[in-house]
Amino acid sequence: MTRRSIVALFMIFSFCCFTLTVSAATVKLPDAGSPNYEHRTIETVPLHMFSFYTHNYLGYTYATSERDRQAYVNAGFRYEGIVAYISSEPLRGTYGLYNMYLPLDHYLAVGKESRDACIIKYGYQNTGLLGYVYPKNVLMGGNTDVHVWYKPSPEAGSIEGFLGTTGKETLAYHYYLGGPANLTDRNYEGIAFRAWSKSQTLQEIKVLAPNNGGTFEVGKKMTIQWKSTPGGGVVDLRYAVKTTTGWTAWVEIATQLSPSGNYEWIVPSQAAGEITILASWRAKNAEGEDGWAYDRIYKTLSIKNAIKPIKVSNLLVK
């Protein structure tokens, strides 16, 4: 290998391992004092594929954000298009999809167990979490299979039964496509995972009532109604009160409610004034990670203290 090739490989290694790391976002409840209408859904994100070529090696790598897509293109990688769409957040039954790196190969590991096996057994580096997918042959989610091919590297060491391949294979250039194809220059390994074929909303919750403002009274019932699409998971209800110094923190109304339904809330005296209500949906994926979606009522509500009747007694009329 020439000095120029070694330098090129080092630059690719450095860029892939240290520049575009992706981590799971920490989801928190919205600021009650925000002037904006708060509505958070779980969406698909595109799984972009890029190729790089040096010293007779053709390899591929992946990213999901537009920022990273532009960074790869600006660094000289060739943009190959969108493989499929994956979830941006954990959903029931999903596993994390990790971008694992070896010099001249990127392997997409489904789940933490596969990720750790890549690191411990085969020396891969985890360059980041790309999103969430369903395992192969699980039909409960996703609508397309992502297939994987591999091409043995002529200069790599041999590994017995490498990550699902049969027999004695050498380290492979893995190649993923969101559909069947006839690739004569690669060996077909099988279905890697399930994903989605287009951009779409995967989880959403809407507060149906009350959502157009109005006045309510302390001590009386307020019906809160919501709907989650699709079902599953649980819903928590919260409220916040506007004070002279701003909004209070979110206060729980009820938790662990059904994904769609209604709740009869007895308005407490602590809620007197101007309030806002938030319904948040959550569910754990196959590895115990929470996915979140929420919806805040579009208009604030006015809560009035109850007017107590004045009792008149011992009134003498002359």
- DSSP sequence for 137-190: T-TTS-SEEEEEEEEE-TTSPEEETGGG--SEEE-EEEEEESS----TTSEEEE
d(CA 248, CA 294) in angstroms, rounded, equals 18
| Cβ-contact 222, 239 below 8 angstroms | no
In the chain, the domains with their CATH numbers are 3-27+44-195 (no CATH), 201-304 (2.60.40.10)
User: Residue 101's beta-bridge partner residues?
Assistant: 106, 125
d(CA 50, CA 99) in angstroms, rounded, equals 13
pLDDT-derived band at 305, boundaries 50, 70, 90: confident
Q: Which of 196, 203, 218, 211 is nearest to 269 (CA)?
A: 218
Q: Which of 151, 44, 65, 61 is nearest to 99 (CA)?
A: 61
The two three-digit tokens of residue 242, written as one number: 């506007």
- 32-41, 226-235, 257-266: least confident range: 32-41
pLDDT-derived band at 156, boundaries 50, 70, 90: very low
> In this structure, which amino acid lies at residue 87?
S
Helix (H, G, I), strand (E, B) or coil at 72: helix
Q: Which of 214, 224, 234, 221 is nearest to 282 (CA)?
A: 234
Average pLDDT of the residues in 107-133: 94
Per the prediction, the chain carries an average pLDDT of 82
What's the confidence (pLDDT) of residue 120? 94
Report the DSSP pairing between strands 215-217 and 301-304: parallel
The tens digit of pLDDT for each residue in 173-230 reads 788 988 777 777 778 889 999 999 999 999 999 999 998 889 999 999 999 999 999 9
What's the confidence (pLDDT) of residue 213? 87
What is the pTM for the complete model shown? 0.82
The tens digit of pLDDT for each residue in 3-59 reads 344 334 434 544 555 444 444 444 567 777 665 668 899 999 999 999 887 666 677
